[in-house]
Amino acid sequence: MSEFFQQIINGLSLGSIYALIALGYTMVYGILKLINFAHGEVFMVGAYSGYYIATALGVDGYEASGAGFPLGLALLVLVLAMAASALLGVTIEALAYRPVRSAPRLTPLITAIGVSLFLQNAAMLVFTPNPRRYPAILRELRFELGGVIITNIKLAIFVVALLLMVGLKLFVQRTWTGRAMRALSLNIDAARLMGIDVNRTIRATFAVGSALAAAGGILFGLDQITINPLMGVLTGLKAFVAAVLGGIGNIPGAVVGGLLIGLAEQLTAGYLSPDYRDAITFVILVVILVLKPEGLLGVVRQEKV
Amino acid sequence: MSAGMSAAAEVPAKPRWALRAGIFALLLAGLYVTGLGVQAGLIEYVQRILLIAGINVILAVGLNLINGTTGQFSIGHAGFMAVGAYTAAFVGVHLAPHVSAALGAGALADGITFNLGLLVGAALAGVAGFFVGLPSLRLKGDYLAIVTLGFGEIIRILFNNAEFLGSATGYFGDSAAGLPTYTNFFWVFFWVIAVICLIRNVTFSQTGRSLVAIREDEIAAEAMATPTTRLKVLAFALSAATAGIAGGLFAHMQAGIRPEDFKFDKSIDMIVMIIVGGLGSISGAALGGIFVAVSLELMRDLQQYRLVLYALLLIVIMLVRPEGLLGQRELHFGWLKRARRKGGA
């Protein structure tokens, strides 16, 4: 039984990382109807930014001296990496998506694949393809609770993810920009007529989504210990599946989908075979798309002529 | 489209089949002689590039049926190629002893084994394509694309775990020598011609026009009683089958195949081929396939920059010329005729 709870804990912490990334997919899809393939790479760049910022702030020295990295500096790493990724997201939008926004829908999809490939391979050149050990931004502490091992890192992942999601909820519901985002997702043209600056709002969407992905990247690095330039491919796909599972365009759906995918993956790895942990996500994807394409929490939208 | 139809109308109706059979026989003979010449005259390196170019042409022309003509989007085509490759390799290894026992070892037995393997591989890949196409009943555009991606990954993971096919190490047959290398210039270009003829005939048939109708406006096509789902599934199955043939040719070109030969990168290569050439143009896709084969070789020393450049190429083409080099136009002999007429007059 304790093994089962262990898998649940691991699944939930992995799932909350997926959820953070899925939010970016779902927000962009909700507004532009674009699968932002480059989002997984934004997540990867976020993780690497965290790596370099933490190194610049002297995390190695703290680690060597045995003293933990100060919490304030850890938060600074998080905030700076989120800012760097937000900048990257906005740049991608401006260079690769805005020029083709009014083109047929497959055109931006192909540029998105192009951007994703470009970032992956540029990262292999810049960061080298070798995996890197993630700096110990948090020193690991273990607790045991009835045979289940919980680390402070897993707890931190929950807490950070939860805080960010609550923050996003408040942002989307309470701020002017958030309201503009919701208006755009309903009807871009009507929103424009109501005086909403469409470009600015889309830029904000990319910034927020990318920042959340960067937070996911740092948490992923802490959780999985190593990072590499291709980490965004599979993780990004899984997060996208999470967004589809929850109902794409739906913010609570992305969170639910992320947690479910994380759980499914851990339980498959634990009870079936670790070989199939990646396959299960795609099986879920195909099943959900065939049975309920609008997702668990999504709304059916009738296609109009 | 209109140029193609008027060209067909110029040919007298009656002796058409005889003419075609004659052309076909001549073509085969020419191909065979060229193949001998290539094997004798060109160094192995150049031969290999030619073979890869041919395989790419098959992949690109086949994928174009889905992505170009029907306006759907498959980004998991490497999965179908893998099905064809593994099947052809498996059939080749297990059938070869029986066929040689019956017919005596030699070129004839090899050819029969090889092509049976290719056909079985194509059939299985077609079945896989059928199942991947089925969700198109409810899914459109980018959702369908994601399903193809998911299927492609699942297929690869299955091969990665299939012990009788060598798991992650790859499938090298049962002997130490690896897979038999049946693939040569003649067979590759035999299949190139066969696939191009097949896809061309489908594209310019009524079915093809219905596929184009789906691309242009699915709802309108449905309103005109076009069986959109059946046609989309058909396009997927056909396209997957051609990818299966390409896979089989690829498998018998070397000593073994590995699951990682059919990664997402491979699907991307195929997409680059058809985007460079022009979505919806058969000749464009063929040119794109050749372009990728040659550019891969030219950039061999720059291996790590290859995908960076491909990615930039994709983005720039989409931004500057989203319809690709040829767009939906075809290169055909009508152009030559017209040019001559213009010159003569």
Instruction: Tell me the per-residue pLDDT of B114-161, one tens digit each, with 9 for 90 and over.
Output: 888 899 999 999 999 998 888 776 677 777 888 888 888 888 888 888
pLDDT at B1: 42
Interface test with B, best of A117, A276, A283 (most B CBs within 10 A): A117
The Cα A197–Cα A201 span in angstroms is 6
pLDDT band, residue B4 (cuts 50/70/90): very low
Tokens 């997201």 sit on residue: A89
Choice among B44-53, B174-183, B278-287 with the minimum mean pLDDT: B174-183
pLDDT at B249: 93
In this prediction, residues B58-70 reach a mean pLDDT of: 91
**Nearest residue of A to residue B317 by CA position?**
A111
pLDDT at B2: 44
Residue range of the domain that includes A44? 19-232
pLDDT at B235: 92
Q: Do A285 and B147 touch (CB under 8 A)?
A: yes
Tokens 């600015």 sit on residue: A200
Residue A268 lies in a domain: no
Is residue A22 within 8 A of residue B129, CB to CB? The reply is no
In this prediction, residues B64-93 reach a mean pLDDT of: 90
**Domain boundaries along the sequence of chain B:** 1-41, 42-262
Is the pLDDT assigned to residue B344 strictly greater than 70?
A: no
For chain B, give the longest Cα–Cα distance.
68
Taking only the tens place, the pLDDT of each residue in A60-108 is 888 777 777 888 888 999 999 999 999 999 999 999 999 988 887 778 8
- Tell which wins on pLDDT, A84 or B280: A84
**Nearest residue of A to residue B311 by CA position?**
A114
- Rounded to 10 deg, the angle between the B77-103 and B141-161 helix axes is 50
Is the pLDDT assigned to residue A299 strictly greater than 80?
A: no
**Nearest residue of B to residue A248 by CA position?**
B143
pLDDT at B333: 66
Choice among A142-146, A173-177, B52-56 with the minimum mean pLDDT: A142-146
Rounded to the nearest angstrom, the minimum Cα separation between B335 and chain A is 29
Choice among A145-159, B168-182, B188-202, B243-257 with the minimum mean pLDDT: B168-182
The Cα B230–Cα A98 span in angstroms is 35
- Tell which wins on pLDDT, B337 or A263: A263
pLDDT band, residue B335 (cuts 50/70/90): low
Is the pLDDT assigned to residue A199 strictly greater than 80?
A: yes
pLDDT at A97: 92
Is the pLDDT assigned to residue B220 strictly greater than 50?
A: yes
pLDDT at A193: 94
Residue A237's H or E segment, with its range, is helix A231-246
pLDDT at B340: 66
Residue A261 lies in a domain: no
Residue A305 lies in a domain: no
Give A 141-180 residues with CB within 8 A of chain B: none
Is the pLDDT assigned to residue A18 strictly greater than 90?
A: yes
pTM: 0.82
pLDDT band, residue B343 (cuts 50/70/90): low
pLDDT at B296: 78
In this prediction, residues B43-64 reach a mean pLDDT of: 90
In this prediction, residues B231-251 reach a mean pLDDT of: 93
Is the pLDDT assigned to residue A210 strictly greater than 50?
A: yes
pLDDT at A87: 96
pLDDT band, residue B12 (cuts 50/70/90): low
Q: Do B146 and A35 touch (CB under 8 A)?
A: yes
Rounded to the nearest angstrom, the minimum Cα separation between A238 and chain B is 10
Residue A84 lies in a domain: yes
The Cα B136–Cα A290 span in angstroms is 9
Interface test with A, best of B142, B149, B305 (most A CBs within 10 A): B142
Q: Tell me how many residue pairs between chain A and chain B have CB atoms under 8 A apart.
A: 113
- Tell which wins on pLDDT, A198 or A66: A198
Is the pLDDT assigned to residue B336 strictly greater than 70?
A: no
- Spell out which residues of chain B touch residue A125, defining contact as CB-CB under 8 Å: 304-305, 308
Chain B: residues touching A (Cβ < 8 Å): 71, 73, 75, 134-135, 138-139, 141-143, 145-147, 149-151, 153-154, 157-158, 160-161, 219-220, 264, 268, 271, 275, 304-305, 307-308, 310-315, 318-319, 322
Q: Do A289 and B135 touch (CB under 8 A)?
A: yes
Residue A206 lies in a domain: yes
Q: Is B254 helix (H, G, I), strand (E, B) or coil?
A: coil
Residue A246 lies in a domain: no
Average pLDDT over all residues of chain A: 89
Interface test with B, best of A97, A106, A107, A290 (most B CBs within 10 A): A106
In this prediction, residues A2-20 reach a mean pLDDT of: 91
DSSP class of residue A101 equals: T
What does the CA dihedral B20, B25, B26, B31 come to, rounded to 10 degrees? 120
pLDDT at A263: 94
Interface test with B, best of A115, A261, A285, A291 (most B CBs within 10 A): A285
CA angle B334, B339, B343 (to 5 degrees): 145
Looking at chain B, the whole-number percentage of residues with pLDDT higher than 90 is 20
pLDDT band, residue B14 (cuts 50/70/90): low
- Spell out which residues of chain A touch residue B264, defining contact as CB-CB under 8 Å: 233
The Cα A248–Cα A255 span in angstroms is 11
- Tell which wins on pLDDT, B13 or B295: B295
Count of structural domains within chain A? 1
**Nearest residue of A to residue B138 by CA position?**
A290
pLDDT at B6: 47
Q: Using CB atoms, which residue from A240, A283, A290 is nearest to B154?
A: A283
- Top mean-pLDDT range of A17-31, A275-289, B105-119, B249-263: A17-31
